[in-house]
Structure 1
Amino acid sequence: MNCISWNCRGLGQPRAVLELTELVKNKSPSILFLMETRSKEQYLKKLCSKLKLENVHIEPRMNTGGGLALYWKNGIDLKVLDSSPTFIDAVVNPGMDDAWRLTGFYGNPITANREHSWALLKHLCLKMDIPWLCMGDFNEIIKAEEKKGGANRRERQMREFREALDFCGFRDLGFVGNPFTWCNNQFDGEVTWIRLDRGVATPSWIQMFPTVRVHHVQGTLSDHCPLWVCSDDENIRFYNKSRPFRFEAVWLRDEGCEGIIRSAWQGEISNDSVGKLMGKVEACRLSLKSWSRLSFGNIRRMLMKKKKELAAAEQLSMAGISHEQVRILRGEVYELLVKEECLWQQRSRVEWLKGGDLNTSYFHG
């Protein structure tokens, strides 16, 4: 069990796609549900290869807003039963004993129309009786504690949402991480945090996947954080292997790179002409390697550090302290994501000729 649900608030920006691919690369979901894609169908289909999720069902955007997309891997036996601008309903392993139902849901953002969302949820409940997981942005909370800042939520709104969940037999799957999934990111005025996104499931589904947890994953672009729904037995392993020296294109984004090369190249090497050339190349290699490790640092490590700082800043914002540091750190996290993307592009054989670096083993040999 490994799914992601995210109200991405548009995939038209390169930054949004970068954050999405980073999320998918790190969590490796089998199923991905996106809301408010605000993108054309052809564009969303092209993302399949970038996300390495081979299948997609698209609910087109309305004018320039809305839009849903459900992606899944080839190894998943998934059949989409029905969809609309506010949901995608599917069955995993249809016809099998271990079949279960997945609904990606998007609650109506207009308060006056939210009763239509709950009527729809009840209608979906009556269609079949198999283990059921429903996840997405419901645009509502079930209790006052799920909102911090701003005007108080009306009790009637919350009660109607709770009644719809009870009608369907849903239980809230809880969460790991920050208690809220949405922030208004106000520059002026009061910062508001709300838990609008959640995963809910029927008791039979919880029995089928007893170790599933819903993680609130940090995001830097959308005002909604992604939900990562996964079992405890989903392990992500990273293998460290020694690699030969490579000149990283991303180093050129740092102003100190030229100085390191110039300093190493101008060093005194006492030898014949060929030996002197080889000595200077070796000096550059050692200097760049040392500089990258100590000054430039490990991008992955730096990214993890900045994300921890961002999480701490968000906690302070939730406690009513300045939100400015959150905005600053989100920008720094994005810059590191860009640098990491540059590293992965250089490592992609498809990009070698396009990038013109011909970074081949023969050249380095």
Structure 2
Amino acid sequence: MRYMLKKWSTDMLAIFETHAGAEKAGRICQGLGFENSFRVDAVGQSGGLWLLWRHGIGDAEVLHSAEQLIHVRVKKEADVVHIIVVYEAPSVSRRSGLWMQLRDLIQMVNEPVIIGGDFNTIVRVDERTGSNGQLSPDSLEFGNWINDTMLIDMGFKGNCFTWKRGKDERFFVAKRLDRILCCAQARLKWQDATVTHLPFLASDHSALYLQLVPPVTGNARRRPFRFEAAWMSHTSFRELLSASWDPNIDTRKALAKLEKVLRKWNKEIFGDIKTRKEKLVKEIQEVQDELERHSSDALLQLEANLIKEFDVVL
């Protein structure tokens, strides 16, 4: 989770099926580095829905919450958006009344609305592997709900599926259970907004990454120098620090001299780790793209091996 938050800068984060509550949930939220959070804690080992956000997004007010949703209104200067995060229960009977509840919430709002999360169902037959050409009544009801509320699917980049199960080809199944929808007002306001299905790394669900205003890539060479906490774990770091510090010159000059040494050392030692991380994420994404086209035991085993190697590098 920390790697994903570092690689994909995030101002608001929704986490589903947390299986944690009370004090443990609070410690985890605080450890992820967000100043604010609202939780619908798990009941025993079932469910759990958290919404975390940073101060910089503006004023966030939680308007409504229930076992399967959190509704928050975010205002920053003249911009306002309603965010509704949803975790639909896997059981059809448990989520039977949720469509009506969400419909009422959306119809009460006359400002931009974005709603997303794990809906635990599909709307088209091509949103699952091994399609038999038929949709379940629950999927049809979900499609009708989207039409009735006049919501727009924001689309996506990346893998077609957001959930998968099975390590062998004969048992492998994948579906697009997670999505982000919005009202017409929000789509017109943020016409360049993108949704990306991130690689499967530590969960059977892919994380969905929404950027309302995709940033323009800056110049990496102008990135300021930062001390990396991971350096402390390397056996040669303290010796390097002692050998490189010059006590005979002004502190400011000594720091500048040390910075050059650490930049070079970081590139030679830790730069390799960062390169391996990026390479592994790329390889995992390529394998998962290939699995989307056709599954095989060899590909599934390769994916498992790459993810295991990625965990070791982290």
| TM-score relative to the length of structure 2 | 0.80
Instruction: Give the count of matched residue pairs.
Output: 282
Which one of 258, 277, 280 corresponds to residue 306 of structure 1?
280
Letter in 2 for 1:33: A
- Secondary structure of the structure 1 residue equivalent to 2:65: strand
Select between 312-321 and 139-148 the one with higher mean Cα deviation. 312-321
CA distance in 1, matches of 2:30, 2:41: 19
Are positions 1:101 and 2:75 aligned together? no
8 Å CA contact 2:124, 2:135 repeated in 1: no
- Secondary structure of the structure 2 residue equivalent to 1:224: coil
CA distance in 1, matches of 2:78, 2:230: 53
CA distance in 2, matches of 1:247, 1:23: 17
Compared with structure 1, are the counterparts of its residues 211 and 243 closer, same or farther at alpha carbon in structure 2 (3 Å cutoff)? Answer: closer
C-alpha deviation, 1:185, in angstroms:
3.1
C-alpha deviation, 1:53, in angstroms:
1.2
Alignment of 1:1-365 (within 5 A): 20-75=1-56, 76-93=58-75, 98-149=79-130, 154-187=135-168, 189-235=170-216, 237=218, 238=220, 239=222, 248=231, 250-251=233-234, 293=268, 298-318=272-292, 319-321=294-296, 322-337=299-314
* Alignment RMSD (CA, Å): 2.9
**CA displacement, residues 103-132 of structure 1 (integer Å, 9 cap, x when unaligned):** 001112113444333222222223322210
Compared with structure 1, are the counterparts of its residues 299 and 130 closer, same or farther at alpha carbon in structure 2 (3 Å cutoff)? Answer: same
Letter in 2 for 1:104: V
- Secondary structure of the structure 2 residue equivalent to 1:298: helix
**CA displacement, residues 339-365 of structure 1 (integer Å, 9 cap, x when unaligned):** xxxxxxxxxxxxxxxxxxxxxxxxxxx
Compared with structure 1, are the counterparts of its residues 119 and 290 closer, same or farther at alpha carbon in structure 2 (3 Å cutoff)? Answer: closer
C-alpha deviation, 1:225, in angstroms:
0.7
Compared with structure 1, are the counterparts of its residues 108 and 250 closer, same or farther at alpha carbon in structure 2 (3 Å cutoff)? Answer: same
CA distance in 2, matches of 1:73, 1:247: 24
Match of 2:251? Answer: none
C-alpha deviation, 1:85, in angstroms:
1.2
**CA displacement, residues 27-79 of structure 1 (integer Å, 9 cap, x when unaligned):** 22111111111112322322344322100111111111211111111122110
CA distance in 2, matches of 1:292, 1:99: 43
C-alpha deviation, 1:97, in angstroms:
5.0
C-alpha deviation, 1:292, in angstroms:
8.1
- Secondary structure of the structure 2 residue equivalent to 1:331: helix
Letter in 2 for 1:91: R
Unpaired segments ≥5 residues, structure 1: 1-19, 262-285, 338-365
Letter in 1 for 2:39: I
Compared with structure 1, are the counterparts of its residues 58 and 243 closer, same or farther at alpha carbon in structure 2 (3 Å cutoff)? Answer: closer
CA distance in 2, matches of 1:241, 1:93: 31
Compared with structure 1, are the counterparts of its residues 99 and 118 closer, same or farther at alpha carbon in structure 2 (3 Å cutoff)? Answer: same
- Secondary structure of the structure 1 residue equivalent to 2:97: helix
- Secondary structure of the structure 1 residue equivalent to 2:201: coil
CA distance in 1, matches of 2:181, 2:311: 31
- Secondary structure of the structure 1 residue equivalent to 2:170: coil
- Secondary structure of the structure 2 residue equivalent to 1:120: helix
Letter in 2 for 1:192: V
**Identical aligned pairs, as a percentage?**
24
C-alpha deviation, 1:232, in angstroms:
4.3
Unpaired segments ≥5 residues, structure 2: 240-260
CA distance in 2, matches of 1:185, 1:332: 19
In our comparison, the structure showing a higher alpha carbon Rg is 1
Compared with structure 1, are the counterparts of its residues 138 and 125 closer, same or farther at alpha carbon in structure 2 (3 Å cutoff)? Answer: same
Compared with structure 1, are the counterparts of its residues 91 and 142 closer, same or farther at alpha carbon in structure 2 (3 Å cutoff)? Answer: same
C-alpha deviation, 1:181, in angstroms:
0.5
Compared with structure 1, are the counterparts of its residues 188 and 315 closer, same or farther at alpha carbon in structure 2 (3 Å cutoff)? Answer: closer
Compared with structure 1, are the counterparts of its residues 232 and 243 closer, same or farther at alpha carbon in structure 2 (3 Å cutoff)? Answer: closer
CA distance in 2, matches of 1:66, 1:243: 38
Compared with structure 1, are the counterparts of its residues 153 and 139 closer, same or farther at alpha carbon in structure 2 (3 Å cutoff)? Answer: farther
Compared with structure 1, are the counterparts of its residues 234 and 45 closer, same or farther at alpha carbon in structure 2 (3 Å cutoff)? Answer: farther
| TM-score relative to the length of structure 1 | 0.69
CA distance in 1, matches of 2:102, 2:230: 55
Match of 1:12? Answer: none
CA distance in 1, matches of 2:51, 2:43: 17
Compared with structure 1, are the counterparts of its residues 232 and 90 closer, same or farther at alpha carbon in structure 2 (3 Å cutoff)? Answer: closer
